[in-house]
Amino acid sequence: MKTLWLLDLDGTLVDTSGDIVRAAGIVLRDLGRPPMDRAGIMCHVGLGTPVLLAGILGLDPGSPEVAAAAERFVAVYDSAPGSLSRLYPGTEETLGVLARSARIAVVSNKDGRLVRSTVEGLGLDRWVERAWGATAPART
């Protein structure tokens, strides 16, 4: 039986900040809100899309406005997955070594669709067998 490694995606294997900032900026623009700088957006990252958007919009995470903004964010992000994301140095080499003797899955509090599209968009699916996000597991 092979060992299973569960690895965090965002901020561990991949710097996804570029894609997050791009998608959040488009959502802000679409809602007629003023633009926000990278630091202003990124300080709300870490607890999932609704919390990110609630923070940048100044709304309650459970509000209908945040739910609608989250749907738009996911659509924008998924339109060009991984286009502005970058693998951290050594990620490919490490995954290659781990994959020789173990199975690999990634986890994230990002929407499951975005986890899968990011994994595939960056070519990590050659090592990663499963990708889990804030929604149901996604097979890569």
CA within 13 Å, CB half, 81: 19
Q: CA 123 to CA 87: how far, in whole Å?
A: 10
pLDDT for residue 47:
85
Give the per-residue pLDDT at 46.
Answer: 86
pLDDT on residue 113:
87
Over 70: is that where the pLDDT of 140 sits? no
Active-site annotation holds for 8:
yes
Catalytic residue among 8, 19, 78, 125: 8
- Per-residue model confidence as pLDDT tens digits over 37-86: 999 999 999 888 899 999 999 999 999 999 999 999 999 999 988 899 99
pTM for the whole structure = 0.87
- Tell me how many degrees the CA angle 130-131-135 measures, rounded to the nearest 5: 130
Per-residue pLDDT tens over the stretch 1-44 = 789 999 999 999 999 999 999 999 999 999 999 999 999 999 99
Evaluate if residue 139 carries a pLDDT over 50.
no
Per-residue pLDDT at 135 exceeds 70? no
Q: What is the mean pLDDT of residues 93-100?
A: 96
| DSSP E strand stretches across 9-137 | 14-15, 86-87, 102-107, 128-132
pLDDT at 137 over 50: no
